[in-house]
């Protein structure tokens, strides 16, 4: 008989407990397992075109689900607040080494922190370390393709913590061309005097002029941080311009084009920051200590060692010729998708793409992104509504963002993406058919209600969905077969 807190537990109880601890998910919790199976089916049978999503490899998922999850290890390698950390120290050092190798960085000139839980916490850690409370940052405005964590606020409210705890001034794109307006950014920076300029975007389809941003940052004595979360896989493969030659700090998530699990990485410069032209006196970077302090203990507790394991595996994969070929195909597929949709008369913001995504603007068609997203979802095509430059309200965004990384991971090539464009076009035709029978002032809720009740359109959607699922079923799904 076992004695626990004054109560005797019989042998059967402990046998049941031990069985619970080794029973597989499929039999122990059928409710959760069935939900996971349904999501697996959705991913396998549909077309995943959300630009920030990808399909992690089996090896990454196995590392993520490993016993590394069990270990607490507050601190950094060799300086932990817990015992039994010799193997997590080994893992974290390996992950750091691979991170530097993946982006061809000299460890004498660059350091790296692989503990951030994800991208937004990593960005906030950098601001906390370098900008400090109420310091000034400039990032691309959210409606123009920027990210929430780059200081987003509206005229009436500060939305992101990055605008609440820091002073933020957004820079914007040219509303006609859709390209970043570097001239206006330079003028505004000279008036605002930011301590940090943030490059990078959540929905911007063109290469960023890092050299121009470096010049603007230098004119204002500002740090330049590049958030490469969307394009880090492309950069590691050498198929798109790298920010490392021009930036002081580089941050990336690891689950988008890099194709790892959900986490964040912060790279920071070491050594000489500047040299006084008159005296020759060197000013050294002081980034490593403040950034590490901001990540832990400033903003986080123990690192997620299972995620660091998954990231380490993904970084190893990024060093292979196969990964480089994959990233080149991501670009080729995006070009093919863009060309096919342009041929069908759709407007693409900036007129095309240099990277893995495009932004369709539906203002010329008279509809919007929310309606298109909803109908395409019913057709088993996953995308996301997105603001376009000049949109008056984020509640009714004009566009839809499409990306090629996930489907390229399944093996789709250019001709396949031309077929994907055809499916998208047919779905949009259903949107326009429904909208033509409704008031121009109809809400998205009213549109959804009409969609659900329109038997003719539902039949068209079922037909498209059946074709999409048959098409998608021809391509393998990475990862673990059952999960």
Instruction: Return all residues near 249 (Cβ < 8 A) that are at least 6 apart.
Output: 126, 130, 223, 224, 225, 226, 266, 267, 268, 269, 287, 291
pLDDT number for residue 435: 93
pLDDT number for residue 1: 47
Alpha helix positions (H), 384-413: 405-409
pLDDT number for residue 394: 76
Which range has the worst mean pLDDT, 216-225, 312-321, 386-395, 417-426? 386-395
Class of residue 418 by CB neighbours under 10 A (exposed 0-12, middle 13-18, buried 19+): middle
pLDDT number for residue 370: 97
Alpha helix positions (H), 136-237: 161-164, 182-192, 210-219, 232-236
Mean pLDDT (whole number) for 262-271? 98
pLDDT number for residue 199: 98
Angle at 249 between CA 202 and CA 309, to 5 degrees: 75
User: Residue 398 half-sphere exposure, CB side, CA atoms within 13 Å?
Assistant: 20
Cis-peptide into 297, omega within 30 deg: yes
Dig out the tokens for 219 from the structure.
């004119």
Tell me the angle at which helices 321-343 and 305-318 cross, rounded to the nearest 10 degrees.
Answer: 80
* pTM over 0.85, yes/no: yes
SS3 for 267-287, per residue?
A: EEECCEEEECCCCCCEEECCC
Mean pLDDT (whole number) for 71-87? 98
Confidence of residue 9 (pLDDT cuts 50, 70, 90): confident
Mean pLDDT (whole number) for 158-182? 96
Give me the count of residues in the chain: 483
Task: Provide the 3-class DSSP secondary structure of residue 33.
Answer: helix
Tens digit of each residue's pLDDT (9 = 90 or more) over 192-242: 999 999 999 999 999 999 999 999 999 999 999 999 999 999 999 999 999
Of residues 263, 296, 313, the one with CA closest to residue 66 = 313
- Residues tagged active-site: 203, 255
Task: Provide the 3-class DSSP secondary structure of residue 423.
Answer: helix
User: In DSSP terms, which residues pair with 373 in a beta bridge?
Assistant: none
> Rounded CA gap, 424 and 452, in Å?
19
> Rounded CA gap, 234 and 331, in Å?
9
User: In DSSP terms, which residues pair with 180 in a beta bridge?
Assistant: 173
Mean pLDDT (whole number) for 31-57? 98
pLDDT number for residue 482: 85
User: Residue 439 half-sphere exposure, CB side, CA atoms within 13 Å?
Assistant: 6
User: Residue 118 half-sphere exposure, CB side, CA atoms within 13 Å?
Assistant: 6
Given a cut of 50, whether residue 458 has pLDDT beyond it is yes
Tens digit of each residue's pLDDT (9 = 90 or more) over 404-452: 999 999 999 999 999 999 999 999 999 999 999 999 899 999 999 999 9
> Rounded CA gap, 320 and 299, in Å?
34
> Rounded CA gap, 395 and 351, in Å?
24
Dig out the tokens for 117 from the structure.
């839980």
Q: What mean pLDDT, rounded, does the chain reach?
A: 97
Confidence of residue 395 (pLDDT cuts 50, 70, 90): confident
């Amino acid at each position: 008989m076992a004695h626990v807190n004054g109560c005797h537990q019989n042998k059967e109880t402990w046998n049941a407990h031990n069985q619970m601890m080794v029973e597989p998910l499929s039999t122990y919790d059928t409710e959760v397992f069935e939900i996971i199976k349904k999501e697996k089916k959705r991913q396998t049978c549909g077309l995943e075109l959300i630009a920030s999503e990808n399909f992690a490899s089996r090896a990454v998922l196995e590392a993520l689900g490993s016993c590394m999850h069990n270990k607490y290890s507050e601190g950094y390698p060799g300086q932990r607040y817990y015992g039994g950390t010799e193997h997590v120290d080994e893992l974290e050092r390996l992950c750091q080494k691979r991170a530097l190798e993946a982006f061809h960085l000299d460890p004498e000139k660059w350091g790296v922190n692989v503990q951030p839980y994800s991208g937004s916490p990593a960005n906030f850690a950098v601001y906390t370390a370098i900008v400090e409370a109420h310091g000034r940052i400039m990032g691309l405005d959210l409606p123009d393709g920027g990210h929430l964590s780059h200081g987003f606020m509206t005229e009436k409210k500060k939305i992101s913590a990055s605008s609440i705890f820091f002073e933020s001034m957004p820079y914007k794109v040219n509303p006609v061309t859709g390209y970043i307006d570097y001239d206006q950014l330079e003028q505004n920076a000279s008036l605002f005097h930011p301590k940090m300029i943030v490059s990078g975007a959540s929905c911007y389809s063109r290469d960023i002029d890092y050299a121009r941003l470096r010049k603007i940052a230098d004119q204002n004595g500002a740090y330049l941080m590049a958030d490469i979360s969307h394009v880090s896989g492309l950069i590691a493969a050498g198929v798109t311009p790298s920010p490392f030659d021009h930036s002081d700090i580089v941050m990336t998530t690891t689950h988008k084009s890099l194709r790892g699990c959900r986490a964040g990485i912060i790279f920071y410069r070491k050594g000489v920051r500047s040299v006084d032209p008159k005296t020759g006196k060197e000013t050294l970077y002081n980034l490593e200590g403040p950034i590490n302090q901001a990540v832990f203990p400033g903003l986080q507790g123990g690192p997620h060692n299972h995620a660091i394991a998954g990231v380490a595996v993904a970084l190893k994969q990024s060093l292979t010729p196969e990964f480089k070929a994959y990233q080149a195909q991501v670009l080729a597929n995006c070009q093919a998708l863009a060309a096919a949709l342009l041929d069908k008369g759709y407007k693409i913001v900036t007129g095309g793409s240099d990277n893995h995504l495009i932004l369709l603007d539906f203002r010329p068609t008279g509809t919007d992104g929310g309606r298109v997203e909803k109908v395409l979802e019913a057709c088993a095509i996953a995308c996301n509504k997105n603001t376009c430059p000049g949109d008056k309200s984020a509640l009714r965004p004009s566009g839809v963002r499409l990306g090629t990384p996930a489907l390229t991971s399944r093996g789709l090539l250019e001709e396949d993406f031309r077929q994907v464009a055809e499916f998208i076009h047919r779905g949009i035709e259903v949107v326009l058919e429904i909208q033509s029978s409704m008031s121009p002032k109809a809400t998205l809720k009213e549109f959804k209600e009409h969609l659900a009740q329109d038997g003719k359109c539902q039949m068209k959607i079922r037909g498209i969905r059946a074709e999409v699922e048959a098409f998608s079923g021809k391509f393998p799904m990475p990862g673990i077969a059952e999960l």
